[in-house]
Each structure stands twice: as C-alpha cells, then as structure tokens.
C-alpha cells in the first residue's frame, strides 16, 4: 500500500512538472515570435500555482485515480497568447506556438530516455524504472495533447487548418469540448496508448521498458 502511494505521488509530481514545462514552452515560443502576452500575464514561470487548471490539473487526475487508471493524465491552464502579435511569423507562428507544447514533452522523453540508455549499466533497476515513468508520461502527454479536441493543442492546430467558419465553431465549443474529450478517453483510449507505447519503447529502449514493467507493469 505504501509503495502504491509513493508511485502515485511520483506520477502526479512528474505530470505536474511536465504539463508546466509544456505550457511555458507555448509562452516562450510566442515570446520568441514577438508576443509578450504570456510574459505580461506572469505565466513564464515554473511556479505550479500559476498554471493549475481546476479540471485538467485536479479533477481529471483524481477521476483517473479513483477509476484505477495505470497512469494519471491531465493538463495545465493554457498559456494565453495573441496570434496578431506574432509579428516575426504571422503565417506559421500560431502553428509553432501550438506545437511547442507537445514538442517539449517529446524533448523531455528524449532526454530522460538518453539518461536511461547511458546509465543502464550502473543505475539501479528502481532508478531506471522511475526514469522510464518520466519518459512514458511525457510520451503520453505529447500524443494526448495532439488530439484535435478542445482544450488540447491538437484542436488549436486544427483551427489553423480549417476554413474560418469551422475554425470559429471549434474555438467556441466551450464545455462541450471537455465532455467530448472525456467520452473519447473512455471509449477510444487505444488511440492514445498505442502510439505512446511505441514512442516510449523508442526513447527508453529495452532496458527502460523492462525496468518500467518491473515496477509499474502490474
């Protein structure tokens, strides 16, 4: 029981840190393209208080916990940005901002996967297992956030591609997006799990995968 609590606390801590880096990456990309909205709003910080979203950071992880989900998922409060202020790249700027979050998670997965590969000969199996969980959660977050349902990044990418009429309708979906997203997670989770597992195995390698299964596989 005590070990399970430690594993859950670790997952939540990794999730929180990863989604914060995800959101800050959106803001930093916007800033690099000329928009200071996130900076002025005080969102370019790693302080969790500035990024906690009631549903994505608290309610959804708790729901997944009580339903015995093997991994906790969620998101932070979206970082604001003004696409009209991206004067360094008006055409592709919004796309770059939208992709910055998932790419930050892939970067984290790559970095910790590299640590696993380089340290597999001298790190303990437990350490490798916990490092592999960091890789796995970030692979999940990258794939999860690319789902084209609001408020996830995939929907923002889709609004850039769609004609204005449909783009506006998607942006104004409001609470309906969260409802659709919950239904999607419940009935079509394989769309998230399968590519995330493939990415995880690519980044973590055989040693990371074995260590992960030894600790979290049950």
Query: Structure tokens of 140?
Result: 């999940």
Active-site residue identified among 23, 43, 141, 200: 23
Q: Which of 200, 75, 86 is CA-nearest to residue 147?
A: 75
> Which stretches of 172-217 are DSSP H helices?
175-187, 190-216
CB 95 within 8 A of CB 175: no
Describe the crossing of helices 125-145 and 93-119 by its angle, rounded to 10 degrees. Answer: 160
Burial class, 143, CB count within 10 angstroms (exposed 0-12 / middle 13-18 / buried 19+): buried
* Chain position carrying tokens 């590519």: 195
- Using DSSP's 3-state secondary structure scheme, residue 217 falls into coil
Q: How far apart are CA 30 and CA 212, in angstroms?
A: 35
Catalytic status, residue 2: no
CA atoms within 13 A on the CB side of 204: 27
Active-site amino acid positions: 23
């Amino acid at each position: 029981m005590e070990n399970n609590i430690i594993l859950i606390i670790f997952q939540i801590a990794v999730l929180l840190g990863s989604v914060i880096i995800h959101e800050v990456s959106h803001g930093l990309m916007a800033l690099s393209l000329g928009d200071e909205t996130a900076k002025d709003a005080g969102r370019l910080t790693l302080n969790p208080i500035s990024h906690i979203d009631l549903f994505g950071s608290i309610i959804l992880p708790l729901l997944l916990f009580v339903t015995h989900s093997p991994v906790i998922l969620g998101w932070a409060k979206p970082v604001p940005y003004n696409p009209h202020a991206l004067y360094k790249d008006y055409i592709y700027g919004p796309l770059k901002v939208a992709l910055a979050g998932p790419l930050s998670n892939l970067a984290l997965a790559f970095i910790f996967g590299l640590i696993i590969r380089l340290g597999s000969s001298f790190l303990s199996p437990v350490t490798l297992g916990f490092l592999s969980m960091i890789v796995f959660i970030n692979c999940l977050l990258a794939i999860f956030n690319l789902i084209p349902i609001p408020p996830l990044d995939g929907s923002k990418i889709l609004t850039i591609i769609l004609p204005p009429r449909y783009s506006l309708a998607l942006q104004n979906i409001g609470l309906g997006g969260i409802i659709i997203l919950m239904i999607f997670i419940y009935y079509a989770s394989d769309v998230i799990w399968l590519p995330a597992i493939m990415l995880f195995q690519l980044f973590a390698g055989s040693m990371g995968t074995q260590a992960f299964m030894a600790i979290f596989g049950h």
